[in-house]
Structure 1
Amino acid sequence: MAAQVIRSDDRRRVPWRNGAGTTEEVATGPDGPAGRPLWRISVADLGSAPSEFSAFPGTDRVFTVIGEHGVDLDSGNGTRSLDPWQPHPFAGEDAPHCVPRGATRAFNAMTERGATTAAVGYFTLDTAFDTVADGVTVLYVRSGSVQAGTARAEPGDCILIRGEAITLRASSATGLLVRIEPTSSL
């Protein structure tokens, strides 16, 4: 399977588990033994009003603000201020109180604990980049454009690459790079 571009307009909008908002589902992995996906990538609308995160027991999350305004998260252990484009990992059992500093959005990478892991980092791409053949690679394009084979991703789009090496080409592109890898032989 070649790289798949998931356009921002083509993502499926679903309600949050707690009903307090909505998210756009980018992609999910296969179901694990617990009957839920081993991984999930989504883009959530946080708005500007305070809200509570949904709890996801047994899941690890990497939360990254991708809108213009940061947020303050409080899981009961003090407040953590997050600026845009700074990935923040936390346990899915934590359902922090979120106070946006203005209308904003967030990128979420969620993995089934003990089965998969996700690493999320900010990228700047000015040349060619080869993805690795194992695991899953997801790029969220913030600015510029990224060419993956014959497909081109623009700002707000995601590129999904499952289990193969692909050369990505760009000029002055920025965004998030996610690597999802199995940690067990499920």
Structure 2
Amino acid sequence: MRILRAIEYRRMPWKNGGGETVEIAVSPDRATLADFDWRVSMATVAADGAFSSFQGIDRTLSVLEGHGLTLVIEGRPPKLLTVADPPLSFPADVPTSSRLADGPVTDLNVMTRRHALRHRVRKLHVEGSLPIATNAREILLFCHKGSVALGTQGVSATLHALDTATLQQPIALTLSADIASEVFLIEMMSG
């Protein structure tokens, strides 16, 4: 288990130069935008515009803060994505743009290289104890709101808002929270 604190995240410009990304984690370590296997990041979208294109990459987007944005993904009807919606998956190499509903939005972005990996992102409400079983080769737990304790195979840690844990091949995991908290479970699986 590796704990990544929000204060340690790396800030970098968007690929298309239109904003700033907060890189939470990337694999392999220190990979660039051209050679990552997977990447998890947050971004603030402050204006309407085109998304950066990533050839051969699949992406999942979740709205963390703000009033939402309408995604225009080639080949699909426009989709309003808000904080209340489940994560939305789409290819990162098709033309995609967004229109803000009402002011800036902060999003969580998960990307995997299509022929090497696939991923799944689930938003979980944690209050009390919540057991998690997964057969993913690697998982990330991103604490969006509140504070969550996690335990697996005799190891435990606490995540506060915007902290992340990465775990290799976990078999079973238990999340617990004294107050209502929200966590994104990101599973990385072989392609």
TM over 0.5: yes
CA–CA distance in 2 between the matches of 1:179 and 1:134? Answer: 6
Query: Contact 1:131/1:168 (CA < 8 Å) preserved in 2?
Result: no
1:125 aligns with 2:126: yes
Secondary structure of 1:9's counterpart equals helix
Query: Contact 2:141/2:186 (CA < 8 Å) preserved in 1?
Result: yes
Unaligned 5+ residue runs, structure 1?
Answer: none
Secondary structure of 2:7's counterpart equals helix
Select the residue among 162, 173, 181 that pairs with 1:173: 181
Aligned to 1:11: 9
TM-score in terms of structure 1 length:
0.85
Q: Deviation per CA, 1:70-112, whole angstroms, max 9, x where unpaired?
A: 1011134442211124211111112311112221111011011
Select the residue among 148, 157, 160 that pairs with 2:163: 157
Query: Contact 1:131/1:137 (CA < 8 Å) preserved in 2?
Result: no
Structure 1 stretches of 4+ with a deviation exceeding 6 A read: none
CA–CA distance in 2 between the matches of 1:74 and 1:93? Answer: 13
CA–CA distance in 1 between the matches of 2:3 and 2:81? Answer: 28
Aligned to 1:135: 137
TM-score in terms of structure 2 length:
0.83
Structure-to-structure mapping, 1:50-129, within 5 angstroms? 50-77=48-75, 78-84=77-83, 85-101=85-101, 102-126=103-127, 127-129=129-131
Aligned to 1:43: 42
CA shift in 2, pair 1:134/1:80, >3 Å: closer
Q: Which amino acid is the alignment partner of residue 43 of structure 1?
A: M
Higher strand share: 2
1:65 Cα deviation from its structure 2 partner: 1.0
Secondary structure of 2:65's counterpart equals coil
CA RMSD of aligned residues (A): 2.1
